Structure 1
Amino acid sequence: MNQAFDIIIVGAGMVGAALATGLGQQGIRVALIDKAEPSAFDASSAPDIRVSALSAGSERYLDSLGAWHSILAMRATPYRRLAVWDETPNPLSRLLPPSLTEVEFSAEQLGARHLGHIVENSITQQALWQTAEAEPEVTLITGRSVQDLAQDQRLARVTLDDGSQLEAQLVIGADGAMSRVRDLAGIGVTRDQYDQQAMVISVRYRGGVEDITWQGFYPSGPRAFLPLHSAGEQLPGECWGSLVWYDHPARLAQLKAMDEPALMAEIQKHFPARLPELTHIDARASFPIARQHARHYYLNRVVLAGDAAHTINPLAGQGVNLGFQDAQCLQGLLKEARRGGDDLACERWLALYEQQRRPANQRMMLAMDLFYHLFSNAIPPVHLVRNLGLGAARALPFARNRVARYAMGLDDKLPAPLQQMVNRLPGLGSL
C-alpha cells in the first residue's frame, strides 16, 4: 500500500528541512526523505569544516520557522564588518594610494546590529531538522534513497530503495547539485567548471573572537577569513576560525598533502598580514567550483530548490542564502495554491516561482562571474579598473551602503536606479 502525502521533499539538508518545516506549519502533509539524519550537536566538538555566512534575510526566515533560537543556543558568530581588498602586485598600483584598494562595510554604517552570522552547516541543518521533526504534518523518512519517479495527471509516485512507494501531488527536489530527482524528472542543466578549486581549513588562532570577515584577492583567487567562536576554557585566549584558499587544483593538492607545520607556514606566508597568529589546524578539505543552472525549475509534478536548481561561485557565500530565498518563495506560493483549492503542482504557481527566482539567481550568478573574472588575473588594465572600482566604492558610501544592505538581506529591494541598471545587464538569457 502506498503512503499518501501532499508533498514529498527529497533532501533534508538546510533548504529541504526549511521547506518541510514551513510547509508543515501551513498544514500541508509532507514526507521528508534523506539517506541519513544529521549528527547530534556536541558543544565540546571542533567546528564543522563547512560553514556559511547567513545573511540577515536568512536569519529572519529561519526565525519565522522557529529554528534561529536553536542555532543561537548551539553556536553562531555574528560579524559586524566585512572587508575586501586587492593583493595583486602590479606596477599600476603606484597610480593609486593603497587606501583606495580596500573597501570595508560595517553594520554601524548600514544601520544594523550586525551584517550576518557565520554558522556551521551541520548546526543549521540540525536546528531545522528539529523544527521539522516537531511538526505533526511532517513525516521524516531516513536511511532511504529515491530509486524511481513516476508522474501522471493526478499524482507523482516515488519509489524508495526498499521498494516502498510514496504518492503526492508534488515532489520537491532539494537534494543538492547532483540531484537524483532532477535527473529522474528529465530536467537538464548547464554547467561551467571554473579553473579554480576552493580549500577550506578549520583553524585555531590566538586572540579574541573577531567581528570581521575578509577576503584578499590574488591572481590565483581570493583568500578569506571567517571568524568563529571561542575555543573554550580548556584553551584560554584562543578562538576558532575558518580559512578559504582558492587556487588551481594542483596547488591545492600540494597544500592538502602537507603536514600541519608545513601547511601552517604556507598559510602564514601567503595569507594577508592581518591574519591572526595560528596555533592549530584541525581539518582541511577541497572541492571543485562550478556554475550550474537547471534548464527549468519545474516539470510536470516536480520542482527544484536550492543547489538542485542552481550552484554559483562561492566567492560571497551566497549559495545557501539563495536556497533559503527559493524555499521562502516556494513556501509562500504553495500556501496560496492550497488556499485557492488548486492542485499543488498547478503550473500557474510553479511558473510564478520560476519567474520570481530564476532572474534573481541569474543576477547573482552573473555578479559572481564578473567578480571572479575581474579579480582572477593580473592584466594591468584590468588591475587598474578593479582598483578604481574599489576606490569608487569608498568615495560613494551612500550607493555602496544601499547595495550592501540589499546583499545582506537588510533591504528587500535595490534602489530603483540601481535595479534598472541590473535589469539591463547582458548575459542573463544565457545563464
Structure 2
Amino acid sequence: MTQEFDIVIIGAGMVGAALAAGLGQEGFRVAMVDRAPGPEFDPEAAPDIRVSALSAGSERYLQSLGAWQNILSMRATPYRRLAVWDEAEHPLSNLIPRTVNHVEFDAARLNTPHLGHIVENSVTQKGLWQAAEAEPTVTILAGSGVSGITQTTESATVTLENSQQLTATLVIGADGAQSRVRDMAGIGVTRNQYGQQAMIISVRYQGPVQDITWQGFYPSGPRAFLPLYSAGAAHPGESRASLVWYDAPEELARLKSLGNEALMTEIQQGFPAELPQLTHIEARGSFPIARQHARQYSAGRIVLVGDAAHTINPLAGQGVNLGFQDAQCLQNLLKNARNAGKGLADASVLSTYEKQRRPANRRMMYAMDAFYHLFSNQTPPLHLIRNLGLGAARALPFARDQVARYAMGVDDELPAVIRTLTSRLPGLNQL
C-alpha cells in the first residue's frame, strides 16, 4: 500500500522534527521517517552525554513551533555569560597581562535575559517530537529506515526497509552527516578531516549551577565547560556539567583508557583553574571532527537540511543552530511557494533556499576554521596575534557586543562592516 503526502522528511532528529512540526503547522501533509524509535525522557536519569548550546534565535524558533515549553518542562539551563581565553604557555605570553587575553560576553550588556540555553539533544528532540505529534497532518513512521528513493516529473517515491512506500511532491533529507538521502540523490560533498577529535565527559561538580559557559584554548585544542542542572537531593550541594576536551586522537585514546578517578585528576590538572572541583564522572564519549559541505543542496525533488547539507567544527556549538536556520528558511519558502501556486519542488524555490543558506553556512564554516587554525598552534606570531585580538575585543566592546548579538541570534544580521570583511575573506567561495 502506498501512502501519499505533500512532503516526506527522512531523519527525525532535532532539525527533521523541527521541520515536521513547522510544516504541520502550515497544514502540509507530512511524513517523518526514522529507523530509530522516538526519544525518551527520564527525569531521574543522568543527562544525555550529547548537549547543544541553543542560541536565543533558536529559542524563538522553537517557541514558534510550540516545542520550547515542552523542553523547559524537562530540562534546560540558561547561560548568561560566555568567556573565551588563551591558555597557551609561550615566552610571548610574558609580554601581555593574562587579563588582556580574557574576553567575557554578558547578557546584561546585550540587553537580553540570557545568551542561550544548554540543552541535552535528546530533550530538544523529545520536545520537538511532541510538537510534531500534536499536528494532525503529521505522520511519524519510526522503526524502519529508507531503502530507496525514485523520482519522476510528477512525484518522488520513498521505499522503506519494511517495503512500505510513500509518495510525495518533495523529500527532505535531514538524516545527518552520513546522509543516505544525500547519497541516493547523487549529491557529493567536500570534506576536510581535522587533526583533532573531541572527547565529551558528563560530570558532577561541587557547587551551585553556574550561569557561564567558557572555553580555554590550548595549542592541542580548546577545553570547554557547559553548565547543566542541579544534581538533586541524591547528591546535595552538587551540580552537573558537560566538559569537552579537544586533542589529538592518540591523547584522547590515552584519556579514555583511564579509570574515572585517574581521568578526574587529569581533567582538574589539564583544564583552566576556573573549572570547579569535580566529584564524579558519569559518562564519556568521543567523536572525530570534520568540516563537510554538500556540493549542492538539492537534486530534483530532494533537498538537504542540517548536517546532511553541512557540518562545521563544533568549536562554538553553532551546528544545530545553523540546522534550525535551514529549517526555518525552507519552511517559509515552501509556505510562500504554495501561496504563490508554485510546486514545492520547483527549481526556483529550492535554488532560492540554497542561495539564502549556503553563504550563511559557509561564513560560519570559514569563521570556525579560522578560529581553529589561529588557536591550535604554538607559532609565536600567531600566539601574539590571537592575544592581541582578544585584547582588541576587550578594548572595543561595542563591536564585540554587536557580533555577539548576531552569534547568539539576538540580531538577524552581522554589523555592516563585519559583513563586508567576511565577504572579502580569501577562499570563502571554495567552502
**TM-score range normalised by the length of the shorter chain:** over 0.9
Q: Residue 231 of structure 1: CA displacement?
A: 0.3
RMSD between aligned residues: 0.6
Distance 2:141 2:361 in 1: 30
1:207–1:276 CA contact under 8 A, matched in 2: yes
In 2: Cα distance, 1:148 partner to 1:386 partner? 49
**How far apart, in 1, do the equivalents of 2:38 and 2:2 lie?**
27
The amino acid across from 2:119 in the alignment is: V
Q: Does 1:333 align with 2:333?
A: yes
Q: Which residue of 2 aligns with 1:66?
A: 66
Is this contact kept in 1: 2:62–2:68, CA < 8 A? yes
After TM superposition, give the deviation of residue 39 of structure 1 in Å. Answer: 3.1
Identity rate, percent = 69
Which amino acid is the alignment partner of residue 78 of structure 2? P
Equivalences for 1:145-294 in 2 at 5 Å? 145-294=145-294
> Which whole-Å CA distance do the structure 2 matches of 1:138 and 1:249 have between them?
42
Checking the alignment, whether the CA contact within 8 Å between 2:313 and 2:369 is kept in structure 1 is: yes
Q: What residue is the counterpart of 1:56 in the other structure?
A: 56
Counterpart check, 1:133 vs 2:125: no
Aligned twin of 1:298: 298
Return the alpha-carbon distance in structure 2 between the equivalents of residues 85 and 131 of structure 1.
39
Which consecutive unaligned segments of at least 5 residues does structure 1 have?
none
Distance 2:26 2:267 in 1: 49
**Whole-angstrom CA distance in 2 between matches of 1:39 and 1:65:** 18
**Displacement of 1:164:** 1.4
Partners of 1:345 and 1:152 in 2: how far apart?
A: 12
Structure 2 length-normalised TM: 0.99
Show CA shifts across 1:5-56 (max 9, x none).
0000000000000000000100100000001233321111100000000000
In the TM superposition, what is the alpha-carbon distance from 1:195 to its structure 2 partner?
Answer: 0.2
CA distance in 1, matches of 2:244, 2:85: 15
Q: Are 1:87 and 1:218, in contact at CA under 8 Å, matched by a contact in 2?
A: yes
Choose 96-105 or 202-211, whichever is displaced more: 96-105
Question: Which deviations, in whole Å up to 9, do the C-alpha atoms of 1:319-375 show, x marking residues without a partner?
Answer: 000000000000000000111121100011100000000000000000000000000
How far did 1:162 drift? 1.2
1:41-95 CA-partner distances (Å, limit 9, x unpaired) = 1111100000000000000000000000011110000000000000000101111
CA displacement 1:359-407 (0-9 Å, x = unmatched): 0000000000000000000111100000000000000000000000000
Q: Which residue of 1 aligns with 2:110?
A: 110
CA distance in structure 2 between the aligned counterparts of 1:140 and 1:126, rounded to whole angstroms? 13
**1:97 shift after superposition:** 1.4
**AA of the residue aligned to 1:184:** M
Q: Provide the rounded CA distance (Å) in 2 between the counterparts of 1:40 and 1:197.
A: 28
Greater than 6 Å deviation, 4+ residue runs: none
Greater shift in the superposed pair: 417-426 or 89-98: 417-426
Residue of structure 2 in register with 1:405 after alignment: 405
Residue deviations 1:198-255 (CA, integer Å, cap 9, x gap)? 0000000000000000000000000000000000112110000000000000110111
How many residues align structurally? 431
Counterpart of 1:9 in structure 2 is 9
Give unmatched runs, 5+ long, in structure 2.
none
**SS at 1:108 equivalent:** coil
What is the rounded CA distance, in whole Å, between the counterparts of 1:164 and 1:44 in structure 2?
A: 37
Paired with 1:260 and 1:241, the residues of 2 have a C-alpha distance of: 16
What is the identity, as a one-letter code, of the residue corresponding to 2:259? D
Letter in 1 for 2:319: G
Q: Does 1:25 align with 2:25?
A: yes
Q: Alignment partner of 1:262: what SS?
A: helix
Post-superposition shift, 1:422?
1.5
Matching residue of 1:357 = 357
CA contact (8 A) 1:2 1:165 kept: yes
Equivalent residue letter for 2:408: M
Superposition map of 1:306-325 within 5 A:
306-325=306-325
Q: For the residues of structure 1 that align with 2:115 and 2:392, how far apart are their CA atoms?
A: 22
Question: CA contact under 8 A between 1:38 and 1:122: conserved in structure 2?
Answer: no
Q: Aligned ranges for residues 363-374 of structure 1 at < 5 Å? A: 363-374=363-374
Query: How far has the Cα of 1:2 moved from its partner?
Result: 1.4
Counterparts of 1:158 and 1:243, CA distance in 2: 40
Which residue does 2:388 correspond to in 1? 388
